[in-house]
Structure 1
């Protein structure tokens, strides 16, 4: 079976698709993956054929946009950018289909794949990695930067969320997307968050114990476990200097603000002061220069990247932006989490962690050394938090989201897998 995988976004969007590609290749399928150019190295290390959807300069220009890291302006900036990738994605898929057909697997933001589906009736599989993307009148996701009262009825919160389509997402994505669709004589898309769920196969890569299925979710949606994919990141192993640091003392606090963040200096400055105030060791993960203060003490180490699967079993707690990939790996490791949300789904993930009893959230304005230390002290000393972390660690460890997703992809391609 031929498989074309399209992944648009940062590490949390792309690496799960790389992991799916590796699993499908191990089952004997021919896999090609298209993503932004910076992921060429990760894909090559995974042994997959790669196609660049944009250049490194174009990707860096988007990631470096200050508005990308603001609650509502970030949504607008992101959708404006991904809409421009719809046409090159479509053109690549058309070429690949002409050379041998196959099933198409697309991440949420790979808008060219549903266009190809509408044009050629392709077997397209759309994969959502966060429950934030699932609208519901019964359990609407928490919106970025919009702290609605807890007692506000769910249907009203859902109605307010629908306003995001009309006033933010639609104006950002649909003009470019529909202009391209017009060149193909396709009808315009009215609501993006409805259209991308029309794929013949829709996979939700988050378990029911994290986000229970709702009665008004698409009936054909298949919910599987979290993907474990960080081994396909910048390096599959812990750097030697980090291994030596971990061996030299107590379990550290791990701080990261995401692979794409370019405005994280204040976060790491506060992190350094929290470590000093609590008398804790710290690990700072930041791939970009200029994010971490230069005056780190010997009990704090900075490394550009480390796979969290290997690092977090040695950690006391995880403090981060709220990306779903980071959340999932924290749950799998059984460590308490403090989320300092930036935009997109981050606020919703913070609420879910709090509801599960394994974490807390602080807005960026409230993330101060005093408050951060106080919240972390509670997370680290609470018996209830420890018990909840252990319970969810056991559940997360039992999930195999990648394998289950690949089973569904094989079925979508008309391939009957052998029993494993």
Structure 2
């Protein structure tokens, strides 16, 4: 079976699709990955054929946009950018189909695949990695930058979310997307969040205990476990320096603000001060050295990248932005999490961790050394948090989202 995988986004969007690709190759299928050019090396290490969707410069320009890291403005910028990628993604898929067909698997932001489904009647498989994408009148996700009280009726919070469609999401993505659809003689998309769930196969890569299915979710949605994907990142093992640091003292606090963040200096400055205030060791994970304070003391180390699956079992707690991939790794490691959300799904993931009893959240404005230290002290010294972390670690280990997703993809291919 031939499989074309379209992955649009940062590491959190691309790595689960790489994991799916690797498993499909292991099963004997021919897989090609199309993703932004910065993931060329990652695909090569994973043994996947690769086609670049955009250039390194275009990718860096988008991630360097200041307003990308604001709750509402960031969504507008991101959606306009992914809509612009719909045409090159569609052209690539169409050319692949013309030379032999196959199943097309796409991440949420791979809008070109959904266009290909509408135009070419392809067996598209849509993969959502976060429950934030699943709108519901019964359990609506928490919107970025809009902390509506949980006491408000769910239907009212859902109605507010529909307002986000009308005034933020659709005006950002649909003009460019529909302009391209017009060239293909396709009707316009009226509402993005409805349209992207119309793929014939919809896979939700988050377990039921993390996000219980709702009565108004699409009936064809298949919910599986979290993807175990970070071993396909920039390194498969801990560096010698990091391994030596872990051996040299107590379990550290791990701080990361995501692979895409380019403006994390205030976060890492506060991270250093929290470690000093609590008398804890710390690991600062940041791809760009310019985000990290200079002249770190011996009890704090900066590492550009580390596979969280290998690192977090040795950590005391995880402090991060709230990306779903990082959340899942913290749950698998069984450690408490403090979320400092930025945009997108981060606020909703933070809420879920709090409700599960394994996390806390502080806004970027309130993330100070004093408040951060107090929040971490409560998490680290709470018997109920410890018990919940252990319980969810066991649940995380009980499922294999990549395996189950690949089973579904093979069924689409008639196997």
TM > 0.5 between the two? yes
Q: Does 1:201 align with 2:201?
A: yes
**Pair 1:312-2:319 in alignment:** no
Q: How much has 1:399 moved relative to structure 2?
A: 1.1
CA separation in 1, counterparts of 2:35 and 2:215? 33
1:151 is displaced (CA, Å) by 1.0
User: In structure 2, the residue corresponding to 1:363 is in which secondary structure?
Assistant: coil
How big is each residue's C-alpha offset from its partner over 1:122-161, in whole Å with a ceiling of 9 and x where there is no partner?
A: 0000000000000000000000000112211000000000
CA offset at residue 205 of structure 1?
Answer: 0.1
Give 5+ residue unaligned stretches, structure 1. Answer: 416-420
- 1:13-412 matches, cutoff 5 A: 13-412=13-412
4+ runs of 1 displaced by more than 6 Å? none
Q: Secondary structure at the match of 1:290?
A: helix
- Distance, in Å, in 2 between the alignment partners of 1:395 and 1:39 is 31
Aligned length: 415
SS in 2 for 1:113: helix
Partner SS state of residue 207, structure 1: coil
Distance 2:164 2:222 in 1: 25
Post-superposition CA distance 1:336-356 (Å, at most 9, x none): 000000000000000000000
The alignment's C-alpha RMSD in Å is 0.4
User: TM-score, normalising length from structure 1?
Assistant: 0.98
Tell me the equivalent position of 1:10: 10
Q: 1:289 deviation in Å?
A: 2.8
Q: Give the secondary structure class of the aligned counterpart of 1:100.
A: coil
User: How far apart, in 1, do the equivalents of 2:286 and 2:154 lie?
Assistant: 37
1:244-267 per-residue CA deviation (whole Å, 9 max, x = no partner) reads 000000000000000000010000
For residue 81 of structure 1, report the CA deviation from its aligned partner: 0.3
The answer for the alignment partner of 1:414 in structure 2 is 414
Q: Alpha-carbon deviations, 1:187-242, whole Å to 9, x = none?
A: 00000000000000000000000000000000000000000100111111111100
Consecutive unaligned residues in structure 2, runs of 5 or more: none
Q: 1:288 deviation in Å?
A: 1.3
Distance 2:274 2:262 in 1: 21
Displacement of 1:36 = 0.1
3-state SS of 2:210 partner: coil
Give the SS at the match of 2:228. Answer: coil
- Structure 1 SS opposite 2:99: helix
Distance 1:64 1:11 in 2: 16
CA distance in 1, matches of 2:10, 2:222: 24
Q: Secondary structure at the match of 1:78?
A: helix
Give the deviation of 1:295 after TM superposition.
2.4
- TM-score (normalizing by structure 2): 1.00
